[in-house]
Amino acid sequence: MKLKLLIALLVLGVRARADVRLPAVLASHMVLQQNTLVNFWGWSEPGEKISIKVPWDTTTYHAIGSGNAQWSVQLHTPAAGGPFRMTITGSNELVLDDVLVGEVWLCSGQSNMEMSVSWGLPYATESAAATNTQIRFFHIPRTTAAYPQEDLHARWVVCTPEAMRNFSAAGYFFGQQLQSTLKCPVGLISAAWSGTPAEVWIPADTILQDSVLGPAATRLTPAEGWPIRPGATFNAMIYPLLNYPIAGAIWYQGESNVGMGDTYRPLITNLIRTWRRLWNKELPFYYVQIAPYAGYSDNASAFLREAQAQAADLPNTGMVVTTDLVDDLNDIHPKMKKEVGLRLANYALVQTYGITGIPYRSPEFQSMTIEKNRIRIRLAHAEKGLVSRGGPLKEFYVAGENRRFVPAQAKIEGQTVVVWSPEVSKPVAVRFAFRDAPQPNLFSVEGLPVIPFRKEHWVTAQE
């Protein structure tokens, strides 16, 4: 009896083969990016022949397991549609059901991106109505790694009230607006972790080999609950996605880099450029400027907001302003995530998808002229004019050559704002909402808040 068992085990050992396997992101209920070459990859026995059949064309795609047990092939995806069934056959057969083709977006950052309705956000009505088979979620759990990982633990789920309650609220409202406007499936991938600085979402070498960013990373304050090591979340939560084509990314982060406004612009610019290089695509990248918060000090967050605004000079980016979306200045997590998601979606609808007639871009400083004891400020992206909400304009300050800023009066004249103070007879500099917890009330006629700014001829660095 023992001899028979031994022989059986030996035979099984000889015949044992590694099953064809797929990464977690390639699974039933997923959304594939439409009209593109989509990477399909996985693992198998070296030399194993794999075939992939898709229902949208008559091609059978083939791959062969390499010596390191990996295989890959590129599939041509059709225009948006589905659901489809895909079959992957090797020594075993895998069937992917309920696959959609549409638009795929990555939602990343820290807590304000991670926040879901389950955190206590006031969207019970929206959550109850969130059944939508055309929206899919792929929520990546918090994970770190010292080296780039090939796979991760997550799964695609169909949008239901329960799934929506546990997904990024800003991400959901962004995706919902895209889906309802474009009339196509939308896949949302959430890779966010509260408290994380931007450094952890960038490859470590990009940070550590940079003469500016490397030393700056040493200023990050260690804390329990989130990593600060460069590359830690990139390795575990972004790298495994790089073979998966996406339409673009939305980003909501910055609070953990307050105090580092002098280096945040090159930091976030490096993140965008690195992601674009690794995805081999000029990814649209739309992000959220951090909100006013009374817990900051010494204008540290104002400098960070300034760096965020400057980063929007990078092509194919856009910044959403949130100075009007704060329900409590003592809460670093503003609850108005629906408005954030909709503003991000409007950027994508106009700049990525070419839809016209949607207000999406906040007015921003264009130029200024000194007219005796007054400063006239011209704002770009305010073609229909400017309005004040809730009384006289607030949050303007002027200074003379003594560099002492005092509160200023201001009035709207068309697309310009005239600013002055009886205390400053010869103004040379102006600030708008440039402090940690401003409450400005200047908007475009379409309802978008003006981007905070400072214009001081003596400034050559953060001071």
pLDDT at 148: 98
pLDDT at 228 over 80: yes
Mean pLDDT within 230-259: 98
pLDDT at 460: 57
Reduce the DSSP state of residue 332 to 3 states and report it.
coil
Tokens of 448: 């978008």
What does the DSSP assignment read for 171-212?
Answer: HHHHHHHHHHHHTS-EEEEEEE-TT--GGGGS-HHHHHTSTT
User: Nearest Cα to 376, choosing from 419, 434, 405, 409?
Assistant: 419
pLDDT at 17: 60
169-187 per-residue burial string, b: 16 or more CB within 10 A, e: under 16: bbbbbbbbbbbeebebbbb
pLDDT at 13: 44
pLDDT at 6: 47
Per residue in 317-345, pLDDT tens? 999 999 999 999 999 999 999 999 999 99
Per residue in 113-148, pLDDT tens? 999 999 999 999 999 999 999 999 999 999 999 999
In contact, 174 and 320? CB cutoff 8 Å: no
In 333-449, alpha helices (H): 337-347
Cα-atom radius of gyration of the chain, to the nearest Å?
Answer: 26
In contact, 271 and 185? CB cutoff 8 Å: no
CA distances from 112 to 22, 294, 331, 399 (A): 32, 16, 11, 35
pLDDT at 445 over 90: yes
pLDDT at 292 over 80: yes
pLDDT at 34 over 50: yes
Q: What angle do CA 433, 381, 308 make, to 5 degrees?
A: 50
pLDDT at 221: 87
Cα dihedral sign for 287, 24, 138, 235?
A: negative
Per residue in 138-184, pLDDT tens? 999 999 999 999 999 999 999 999 999 999 999 999 999 999 999 99
User: Nearest Cα to 272, choosing from 201, 212, 329, 216?
Assistant: 201
Distance (Å, whole) CA 16 – CA 18: 7
Query: Which structural domains are found in the chain, ordered by start?
Result: 21-100 (2.60.40.10), 102-352 (3.40.50.1110), 366-455 (no CATH)
| Helix or strand run (H / E) with residue 265 | helix 261-279
- List beta partners, residue 139: 190
In contact, 105 and 283? CB cutoff 8 Å: no
Q: Spell out where 77-185 has E strands.
A: 81-89, 93-109, 132-139, 156-159
pLDDT at 459: 76
Q: What do you get for the CA distance between the two ends of the chain, in Å?
A: 84
Distance (Å, whole) CA 432 – CA 399: 12
Mean pLDDT within 297-319: 97
In contact, 387 and 449? CB cutoff 8 Å: no
Mean pLDDT within 3-27: 66
CA distances from 161 to 165, 183, 220 (A): 6, 20, 38
pLDDT at 206: 96
Q: What is the chain's mean pLDDT, rounded?
A: 94
Distance (Å, whole) CA 194 – CA 192: 7
pTM: 0.94
Mean pLDDT within 21-32: 98
pLDDT at 41 over 90: yes
Which amino acid is residue 361, in one-letter code?
R
- The one-character DSSP state at 449 is B
